[in-house]
Amino acid sequence: MEQGLITITLNGTVIHAKEGQSIVEAARENGVYIPTLCDYKSLPPAGTCRVCTVRAGGRVVAGCTTPVSHGMTVESESPELSDLRKGLIEMLFVEGNHMCPSCEKSGDCELQALAYRYRMEVPRFPFSFTNRAIDASLPHLILEHNRCIQCLRCVRGVKSRGGQDIFGFKNRGRDIRITVDTTDPDALSEETARKAMAICPVGALLTKGLHYLTPIGERRYDETPIGTDVEKGGDGS
Protein backbone atom coordinates (compact mmCIF):
# COMPACT_ATOMS: atom_id res chain seq x y z
CA MET A 1 0.00 0.00 0.00
CA GLU A 2 1.22 3.49 -0.85
CA GLN A 3 2.96 5.31 1.99
CA GLY A 4 0.64 7.65 3.86
CA LEU A 5 -2.45 5.63 2.97
CA ILE A 6 -4.59 3.77 5.47
CA THR A 7 -7.67 1.60 5.10
CA ILE A 8 -11.07 2.20 6.64
CA THR A 9 -14.42 0.51 6.17
CA LEU A 10 -17.09 2.85 4.81
CA ASN A 11 -20.64 1.51 4.59
CA GLY A 12 -19.31 -2.03 4.52
CA THR A 13 -16.66 -1.41 1.83
CA VAL A 14 -12.93 -1.25 2.54
CA ILE A 15 -11.46 1.93 1.04
CA HIS A 16 -8.11 3.72 1.06
CA ALA A 17 -7.78 7.11 2.73
CA LYS A 18 -4.95 9.53 3.38
CA GLU A 19 -3.67 10.03 6.89
CA GLY A 20 -5.02 13.28 8.34
CA GLN A 21 -8.05 13.42 6.06
CA SER A 22 -11.47 13.99 7.52
CA ILE A 23 -14.14 11.35 7.06
CA VAL A 24 -15.95 13.67 4.63
CA GLU A 25 -12.80 14.13 2.50
CA ALA A 26 -12.00 10.41 2.44
CA ALA A 27 -15.56 9.55 1.47
CA ARG A 28 -15.60 12.19 -1.28
CA GLU A 29 -12.40 10.85 -2.83
CA ASN A 30 -14.00 7.41 -2.93
CA GLY A 31 -17.22 8.56 -4.60
CA VAL A 32 -19.36 8.65 -1.45
CA TYR A 33 -21.25 11.87 -0.80
CA ILE A 34 -21.68 13.00 2.80
CA PRO A 35 -23.72 16.22 2.88
CA THR A 36 -22.29 19.35 4.46
CA LEU A 37 -23.27 22.99 4.80
CA CYS A 38 -20.51 24.54 6.90
CA ASP A 39 -17.67 22.57 5.28
CA TYR A 40 -16.09 24.14 2.21
CA LYS A 41 -13.13 23.32 0.00
CA SER A 42 -9.77 24.67 1.23
CA LEU A 43 -11.26 26.00 4.50
CA PRO A 44 -10.52 24.55 7.93
CA PRO A 45 -13.53 22.56 9.18
CA ALA A 46 -15.90 24.13 11.69
CA GLY A 47 -18.43 21.42 12.53
CA THR A 48 -21.23 23.94 13.06
CA CYS A 49 -24.10 22.51 10.98
CA ARG A 50 -23.80 18.78 11.87
CA VAL A 51 -25.44 17.78 8.60
CA CYS A 52 -22.37 15.62 7.97
CA THR A 53 -23.10 13.48 11.04
CA VAL A 54 -21.92 9.88 10.65
CA ARG A 55 -21.41 6.90 12.92
CA ALA A 56 -17.73 6.07 13.41
CA GLY A 57 -16.52 3.39 15.78
CA GLY A 58 -19.97 3.17 17.25
CA ARG A 59 -20.11 6.91 18.06
CA VAL A 60 -22.09 9.66 16.34
CA VAL A 61 -19.61 12.30 15.16
CA ALA A 62 -19.27 15.20 12.73
CA GLY A 63 -17.69 13.83 9.55
CA CYS A 64 -15.98 17.11 8.63
CA THR A 65 -14.00 17.44 11.88
CA THR A 66 -13.27 13.77 12.61
CA PRO A 67 -10.02 12.46 11.07
CA VAL A 68 -9.84 8.95 9.69
CA SER A 69 -7.74 6.34 11.47
CA HIS A 70 -6.49 2.97 10.29
CA GLY A 71 -9.13 0.27 10.68
CA MET A 72 -11.92 2.73 11.43
CA THR A 73 -15.46 1.60 10.62
CA VAL A 74 -17.74 4.38 9.35
CA GLU A 75 -21.42 4.35 8.52
CA SER A 76 -22.58 7.37 6.54
CA GLU A 77 -25.93 6.10 5.31
CA SER A 78 -28.76 4.53 7.30
CA PRO A 79 -32.43 5.32 7.92
CA GLU A 80 -31.46 6.75 11.31
CA LEU A 81 -28.78 9.06 9.89
CA SER A 82 -31.00 10.16 7.00
CA ASP A 83 -33.78 11.11 9.41
CA LEU A 84 -31.29 12.96 11.63
CA ARG A 85 -29.99 14.97 8.67
CA LYS A 86 -33.50 15.67 7.45
CA GLY A 87 -34.41 16.92 10.93
CA LEU A 88 -31.40 19.25 11.00
CA ILE A 89 -32.32 20.62 7.56
CA GLU A 90 -35.90 21.16 8.73
CA MET A 91 -34.68 23.05 11.81
CA LEU A 92 -32.58 25.37 9.65
CA PHE A 93 -35.61 26.07 7.45
CA VAL A 94 -37.98 26.91 10.31
CA GLU A 95 -35.40 29.02 12.15
CA GLY A 96 -35.01 31.42 9.21
CA ASN A 97 -37.19 32.78 6.44
CA HIS A 98 -36.20 30.53 3.56
CA MET A 99 -38.90 31.32 1.02
CA CYS A 100 -37.32 29.47 -1.90
CA PRO A 101 -39.59 30.65 -4.76
CA SER A 102 -38.72 34.29 -4.05
CA CYS A 103 -35.09 33.83 -2.96
CA GLU A 104 -32.37 35.20 -5.23
CA LYS A 105 -30.20 32.13 -4.48
CA SER A 106 -32.85 29.58 -5.53
CA GLY A 107 -31.22 26.86 -7.61
CA ASP A 108 -27.78 27.69 -6.22
CA CYS A 109 -28.73 27.24 -2.56
CA GLU A 110 -27.20 24.21 -0.85
CA LEU A 111 -29.84 24.15 1.90
CA GLN A 112 -32.62 24.05 -0.69
CA ALA A 113 -30.76 21.36 -2.65
CA LEU A 114 -30.38 19.20 0.48
CA ALA A 115 -34.08 19.63 1.24
CA TYR A 116 -34.82 18.16 -2.18
CA ARG A 117 -32.29 15.35 -1.68
CA TYR A 118 -33.86 14.35 1.63
CA ARG A 119 -37.40 14.85 0.34
CA MET A 120 -38.35 17.49 2.87
CA GLU A 121 -41.98 18.53 2.56
CA VAL A 122 -43.62 19.89 5.72
CA PRO A 123 -41.11 20.39 8.58
CA ARG A 124 -41.90 18.61 11.83
CA PHE A 125 -41.03 21.76 13.82
CA PRO A 126 -43.00 25.03 14.15
CA PHE A 127 -41.80 28.00 12.11
CA SER A 128 -40.11 30.81 14.06
CA PHE A 129 -41.16 33.49 11.56
CA THR A 130 -38.09 35.57 12.30
CA ASN A 131 -38.10 39.21 11.30
CA ARG A 132 -34.49 40.35 11.26
CA ALA A 133 -33.55 43.55 9.49
CA ILE A 134 -32.08 43.35 5.99
CA ASP A 135 -28.94 45.47 5.67
CA ALA A 136 -28.49 47.03 2.23
CA SER A 137 -26.19 49.84 3.40
CA LEU A 138 -22.99 48.36 1.94
CA PRO A 139 -22.03 49.45 -1.58
CA HIS A 140 -21.78 45.96 -3.10
CA LEU A 141 -23.45 43.52 -0.71
CA ILE A 142 -26.83 42.87 0.90
CA LEU A 143 -26.92 41.10 4.28
CA GLU A 144 -30.12 39.03 4.53
CA HIS A 145 -29.96 38.14 8.23
CA ASN A 146 -33.16 36.08 8.04
CA ARG A 147 -31.40 33.44 5.93
CA CYS A 148 -28.07 33.11 7.75
CA ILE A 149 -27.45 29.58 9.10
CA GLN A 150 -24.31 30.57 11.06
CA CYS A 151 -22.02 28.23 9.12
CA LEU A 152 -19.07 30.66 9.46
CA ARG A 153 -17.99 30.12 5.86
CA CYS A 154 -17.80 33.87 5.22
CA VAL A 155 -15.74 34.41 8.37
CA ARG A 156 -13.28 31.64 7.48
CA GLY A 157 -13.12 32.15 3.73
CA VAL A 158 -13.34 35.87 2.95
CA LYS A 159 -10.36 37.95 4.03
CA SER A 160 -8.89 41.35 3.22
CA ARG A 161 -5.72 41.64 1.14
CA GLY A 162 -3.80 41.74 4.41
CA GLY A 163 -5.42 38.52 5.59
CA GLN A 164 -7.70 40.20 8.12
CA ASP A 165 -11.27 39.10 8.81
CA ILE A 166 -13.96 41.03 6.95
CA PHE A 167 -16.96 39.16 8.36
CA GLY A 168 -17.79 38.33 11.94
CA PHE A 169 -20.74 37.66 14.24
CA LYS A 170 -22.22 39.54 17.17
CA ASN A 171 -24.73 38.51 19.85
CA ARG A 172 -25.79 34.94 20.61
CA GLY A 173 -28.62 32.51 19.97
CA ARG A 174 -31.62 33.91 18.09
CA ASP A 175 -30.10 37.41 18.16
CA ILE A 176 -26.88 36.48 16.37
CA ARG A 177 -26.06 38.64 13.34
CA ILE A 178 -23.43 38.80 10.60
CA THR A 179 -21.18 41.82 10.93
CA VAL A 180 -18.88 43.43 8.37
CA ASP A 181 -15.73 45.37 9.15
CA THR A 182 -16.27 48.69 7.38
CA THR A 183 -13.15 50.42 8.74
CA ASP A 184 -11.39 49.66 5.45
CA PRO A 185 -13.72 50.85 2.66
CA ASP A 186 -11.67 49.01 0.03
CA ALA A 187 -11.82 45.63 1.81
CA LEU A 188 -15.28 44.70 0.56
CA SER A 189 -14.86 45.36 -3.16
CA GLU A 190 -17.29 44.04 -5.76
CA GLU A 191 -14.90 41.14 -6.37
CA THR A 192 -14.88 40.30 -2.65
CA ALA A 193 -18.67 40.63 -2.50
CA ARG A 194 -18.98 38.12 -5.36
CA LYS A 195 -16.71 35.72 -3.50
CA ALA A 196 -18.80 36.14 -0.35
CA MET A 197 -22.02 35.36 -2.22
CA ALA A 198 -20.43 32.30 -3.82
CA ILE A 199 -19.07 30.94 -0.55
CA CYS A 200 -22.36 31.40 1.33
CA PRO A 201 -24.42 28.18 1.08
CA VAL A 202 -27.74 30.05 1.31
CA GLY A 203 -29.09 33.48 0.33
CA ALA A 204 -27.70 35.45 3.27
CA LEU A 205 -25.03 37.31 1.28
CA LEU A 206 -26.15 38.80 -2.02
CA THR A 207 -24.08 40.85 -4.45
CA LYS A 208 -26.02 43.88 -5.55
CA GLY A 209 -27.18 43.86 -9.16
CA LEU A 210 -25.99 40.33 -9.92
CA HIS A 211 -28.68 38.06 -8.44
CA TYR A 212 -30.36 37.00 -11.67
CA LEU A 213 -27.50 36.93 -14.19
CA THR A 214 -28.15 33.19 -14.41
CA PRO A 215 -31.90 32.58 -14.84
CA ILE A 216 -33.71 30.37 -12.35
CA GLY A 217 -34.04 26.97 -13.96
CA GLU A 218 -30.50 27.07 -15.35
CA ARG A 219 -28.62 27.20 -12.06
CA ARG A 220 -26.28 24.66 -10.51
CA TYR A 221 -28.77 22.51 -8.61
CA ASP A 222 -31.61 23.07 -11.06
CA GLU A 223 -29.68 20.94 -13.52
CA THR A 224 -27.77 18.53 -11.26
CA PRO A 225 -28.92 17.39 -7.80
CA ILE A 226 -26.45 18.10 -5.01
CA GLY A 227 -23.96 15.29 -4.42
CA THR A 228 -24.28 13.85 -7.92
CA ASP A 229 -20.85 15.11 -8.95
CA VAL A 230 -19.18 13.28 -6.07
CA GLU A 231 -21.12 10.09 -6.71
CA LYS A 232 -20.04 10.21 -10.36
CA GLY A 233 -16.40 10.54 -9.40
CA GLY A 234 -15.94 14.32 -9.19
CA ASP A 235 -14.47 16.29 -6.30
CA GLY A 236 -17.67 18.09 -5.31
CA SER A 237 -16.25 21.54 -6.01
pLDDT computed for residue 3 by the predictor? 63
CB count within 10 Å of CB 150 equals 18
- The C-alpha atoms of residue 127 and residue 91 are separated, in whole angstroms, by 9
- Spatial neighbors of 119 by CB under 8 A, at least 6 apart, are 86
- Tell me the whole-structure pTM to 2 decimals: 0.92
For residue 223, give the H/E element and its range: helix 220-223
**Edge-to-edge strand list for the sheet holding 141-144:** 134-135, 141-144, 205-207
* Cβ pair 21, 31 in contact under 8 A: no
CA terminus-to-terminus distance, the chain? 28
Cα within 13 Å of Cα(210), Cβ side: 17
Q: Specify the amino acid at residue 202.
A: V
Task: Provide the CATH topology of domain 85-211.
Answer: Alpha-Beta Plaits (3.30.70)
pLDDT computed for residue 234 by the predictor? 62
Tens-of-pLDDT digits for all 237 residues of the chain? 566 799 999 999 999 999 999 999 999 999 999 999 999 988 999 999 999 999 999 999 999 999 999 999 999 999 999 999 999 999 999 998 888 988 999 999 999 999 999 999 999 999 988 888 899 999 999 999 999 999 999 999 999 888 899 999 998 877 888 999 988 877 889 999 999 999 999 999 999 987 788 888 999 999 899 999 999 876 655
Count of positions (residues) in the chain = 237
pLDDT computed for residue 236 by the predictor? 55
- Spatial neighbors of 95 by CB under 8 A, at least 6 apart, are 128, 130, 149
3-class DSSP state for residue 38?
coil
- The C-alpha atoms of residue 137 and residue 73 are separated, in whole angstroms, by 50
- The C-alpha atoms of residue 105 and residue 153 are separated, in whole angstroms, by 16
* Cβ pair 76, 63 in contact under 8 A: yes
pLDDT computed for residue 176 by the predictor? 85
Domain boundaries, the chain: 5-77, 85-211
**What class does CATH assign to 5-77?**
alpha beta
pLDDT computed for residue 210 by the predictor? 78
CB count within 10 Å of CB 61 equals 17
- The C-alpha atoms of residue 111 and residue 119 are separated, in whole angstroms, by 12
pLDDT computed for residue 129 by the predictor? 84
